[in-house]
């Protein structure tokens, strides 16, 4: 009998040792705690729910970030605008809630401009007034109108305009997310507004009275979801040629976007003060990942700087309310500089992390990592375990026509693979950790990339629960969340060839800029 019990115990042990790896990782203290998903250098709220970036504006040395915020829970609820400021785009100081819901409704997305010429008459101090143009959303009727609020103390305190709304609803259910820009050529304010399946363009001399100018996009671009969060700005290419860009986020379910759910497309064209005209016939995506939505650009960056900087919400409405963070939910992408690049007579936007990210670099891992080599393997590595780093490398595509980048531990991984023959990147997070909160999360993320280049630069940012991939200096970007159950410990770059196809690899840990 005793022998039977011992045999039975052995059997049990044998059965459970199938999951030995998990037990091992647990006993080694490798379990990711809920707080381990908190990013180190991407903006996330200290507590509760966040979605779209709003009112991004630069004034007097400070970058302002407002955002859609629900202070009473970790899922979407009655929307407020919360506020943070930074001087370097990475170190953010929380400033609390600035706009609360009122009789006209929740405070939905919108923008802020600096009214340098006091066109509104709101000025009452030495500062230029900051004017927020946002959507009031009536929760019961679903009715949406546009309203104003202003600040004369650099964004610290806000007063809602007493004649709100300034733009009434013309009978359209989806009528929201105003982005306003000063058109210096025509000396007027221009507003782009998402209206279900198109963008409406309005103009104004004082931000209070608006004239309808034109509609854009009903027969252009992707329409598998409702149009949201537009942006309109001018930008010059490397030869000084000026074009106008319209950014449009589009909602929708699992079958929308390039890889499912919330996605962002853009149009390059011209603007004549009334109409935006684009001859673009193909849909062009700003990002092929599933986690870059509702992104727009900072207003009023001084011309001496001259950059156009973009920030998106790093999530997707398909699963945004169920990602496995505790006490907070939602993070922003890294701020990205947009460049207009002309190649063979065609224009495209390139998105790259802003240069300020270089100031966060700790000493690179090792100088030997910068020499040419075949495959690259880091095992049980502290930097990988910190999950807050930047990797740069180049692939010589004349020597290797495929490669794979992988991070993970003995049970979990995220991998990015490229095949020159299929001309496609595939990001696979199906085994990355906690994935069972939504079926979209395990689908491979496919990103077409056909190139004649021989040397392909790749930049990868990892920050605890996110990976952002920038291919060929930002010609393509892929942004994705992931939630490991256990700490990742290795990084690999490999191919199926013996050649030294891998060049100039550097890995640098990045500093924690947001203390929570």
In angstroms, rounded to a whole number, what is the distance separating the alpha carbons of residues 512 and 499? Answer: 37
CB 137, min distance to ligand FRU, A: 7
Catalytic residue among 24, 52, 231, 392: 52
Residue 272 token pair: 């004549």
Residue whose CB is less far from ligand FRU, 49 or 501:
49
Is residue 51 a contact point for ligand FRU (CB under 6 A)?
yes
Q: Tokens 């906690």 sit at which residue?
A: 434
- Residue 52 appears among annotated catalytic residues: yes
As a whole number of angstroms, the distance between CA 283 and CA 266 comes to 8
Position among 30, 48, 91, 109 found at the interface with ligand FRU (CB under 6 A): 109
| Contact flag: residue 135 with ligand FRU (CB under 6 A) | yes
Please select the residue that binds ligand FRU; options are 59, 63, 108, 488, rule is CB under 6 A: 108
SS3 421: coil
How far is Cα 28 from Cα 275, in angstroms, rounded to an integer?
62
Q: Which of 57, 74, 160, 177 binds ligand FRU (CB under 6 A)?
A: 177
Report the residue number, 52 or 475, with the smaller CB distance to ligand FRU.
Answer: 52
**Closest by Cα among 385, 431, 410 to 20:** 410
Query: Which of the residues 495 through 514 are near ligand FRU (CB under 6 A)?
Result: none
**Measured on CA atoms in the order 325, 326, 328, 329, is the torsion positive or negative?**
positive
Q: How many CB atoms lie within 10 A of CB 435?
A: 18
Shortest Cβ 71–ligand FRU spacing (Å): 14
Q: Which residue's CB is nearer to ligand FRU, number 176 or number 429?
A: 176
Beta-carbon contacts of residue 444 (< 8 Å; ≥ 6 apart): 426, 427, 428, 430
180 touches ligand FRU by CB under 6 A: no
Of the pair 325, 513, the CB lying nearest ligand FRU is at 325
Report the residue number, 321 or 451, with the smaller CB distance to ligand FRU: 321
3-class state of residue 314 by DSSP: coil
CB of 54 vs ligand FRU, minimal distance in Å:
8
Q: Which of residues 266-295 bind ligand FRU (CB under 6 A)?
A: 293-294
- Among 32, 56, 79, 318, the residue binding ligand FRU under the rule CB under 6 A is 79
Closest distance to ligand FRU from the beta carbon of 229 (Å): 5
In this complex, which beta carbon is closest to ligand FRU, that of residue 79 or of residue 245? 79
Q: From the list 44, 68, 120, 259, which residue makes contact with ligand FRU (rule: CB under 6 A)?
A: 68
- CA within 13 Å, CB half, 17: 6
Residue count of the chain: 516
| Least distance (Å) between residue 480 CB and ligand FRU | 18
CA distance 350 to 341: 7
Q: Which of 143, 160, 176, 459 binds ligand FRU (CB under 6 A)?
A: 176
Report how many residues bind ligand FRU under the rule CB under 6 A. 13
The Cα–Cα gap between 139 and 132 comes to 21
Q: Omega into 165 within 30° of 0, i.e. cis?
A: yes
Distances from the Cα of 141 to the Cα of 117, 131, 174, angstroms: 37, 27, 12
CA angle 21, 23, 28 (to 5 degrees): 95
CB 437, min distance to ligand FRU, A: 19
Toward ligand FRU, which CB reaches closer, 119 or 135?
135
Q: What sign does the CA torsion over 315, 318, 322, 327 have?
A: positive
Pairing mode, if any, of strands 328-329 and 48-59?
A: parallel
Cα dihedral 8, 12, 14, 19 in deg (nearest 10): 180
Closest C-alpha among 476, 479, 444 to residue 457: 476
Residue 193 CB, shortest distance to ligand FRU, in Å, is 11
Contacts to ligand FRU from residues 226-265, by CB under 6 A: 228-229
For the chain, the C-alpha Rg in angstroms (whole number) is 24
Binding to ligand FRU by CB under 6 A, coded x per residue (else -) over 193-232, reads -----------------------------------xx---
Q: Which tokens sit at 200?
A: 């409406």
Nearer to ligand FRU, 42 or 459 (CB): 42
Binders of ligand FRU among residues 413 to 452 (CB under 6 A) are none
In whole angstroms, how close is the CB of 219 to ligand FRU at the nearest point?
22
- Catalytically annotated residues: 52
Residues at the contact surface with ligand FRU, assessed by CB under 6 A: 51-52, 68, 79, 108-109, 135, 176-177, 228-229, 293-294
């Amino acid at each position: 009998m005793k022998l039977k019990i011992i045999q039975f115990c052995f059997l049990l042990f044998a059965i459970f040792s199938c999951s030995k790896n998990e037990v091992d990782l647990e006993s080694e203290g490798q379990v990711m705690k809920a707080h381990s998903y908190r990013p180190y250098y991407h903006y996330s709220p200290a507590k509760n729910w966040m979605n779209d970036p709003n009112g991004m504006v630069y004034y007097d040395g400070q970058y302002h970030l407002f955002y859609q915020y629900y202070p009473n829970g970790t899922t979407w609820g009655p929307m407020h605008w919360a506020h943070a400021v930074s001087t370097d785009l990475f170190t953010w100081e929380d400033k609390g809630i600035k706009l609360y819901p009122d009789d006209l409704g929740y405070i939905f997305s919108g923008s802020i401009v600096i009214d340098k010429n006091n066109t509104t008459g709101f000025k009452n101090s030495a500062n230029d007034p900051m004017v927020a143009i946002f959507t009031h959303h009536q929760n019961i009727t679903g009715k949406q109108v546009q309203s104003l609020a202003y600040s004369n103390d650099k964004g610290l305190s806000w007063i809602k305009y007493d004649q709100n709304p300034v733009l009434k609803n013309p009978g359209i259910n989806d009528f929201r997310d105003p982005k306003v820009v000063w058109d210096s050529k025509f000396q007027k304010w221009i507003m782009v507004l998402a209206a279900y399946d198109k963008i409406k363009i309005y103009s104004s001399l004082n931000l209070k009275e608006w004239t309808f100018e034109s509609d854009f996009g009903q027969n252009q671009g992707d329409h598998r979801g409702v149009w949201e969060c537009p942006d309109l700005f001018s930008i010059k290419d490397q030869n000084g040629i000026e074009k106008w860009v319209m950014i449009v986020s589009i909602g929708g379910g699992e079958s929308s976007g390039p890889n499912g759910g919330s996605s962002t497309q853009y149009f390059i064209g011209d603007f004549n003060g009334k109409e935006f005209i684009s001859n673009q016939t193909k849909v062009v995506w700003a990002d092929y990942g599933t986690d870059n939505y509702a992104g727009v650009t900072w207003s009023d960056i001084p011309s001496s700087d001259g950059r156009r900087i973009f920030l998106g919400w790093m999530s997707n409405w398909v699963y945004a309310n169920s990602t496995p963070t505790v006490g907070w939910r939602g993070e922003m992408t890294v701020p990205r500089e947009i460049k207009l690049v002309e190649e063979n007579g065609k224009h495209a936007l390139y998105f790259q992390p802003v240069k300020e990210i270089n100031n966060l670099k700790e000493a690179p891992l090792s100088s030997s990592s910068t020499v040419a080599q075949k495959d690259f393997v880091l095992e049980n590595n502290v930097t990988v375990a910190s999950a807050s780093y930047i990797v740069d490398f180049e692939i010589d595509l004349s020597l290797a026509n495929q490669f794979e980048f992988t991070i993970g531990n003995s049970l979990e991984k995220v991998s990015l693979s490229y095949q020159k023959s299929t001309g496609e990147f595939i990001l696979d997070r199906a085994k990355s950790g906690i994935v069972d909160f939504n079926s979209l999360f395990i689908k491979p993320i496919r990103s077409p990339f056909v190139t004649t280049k021989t040397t392909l630069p790749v930049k990868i940012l990892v920050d605890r629960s996110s990976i952002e991939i920038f291919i060929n200096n930002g010609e393509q970007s892929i942004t994705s969340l992931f939630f490991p159950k256990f700490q990742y410990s290795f990084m690999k770059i490999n191919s199926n060839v013996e050649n030294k196809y891998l060049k100039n690899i550097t890995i640098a840990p990045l500093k924690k800029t947001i203390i929570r």
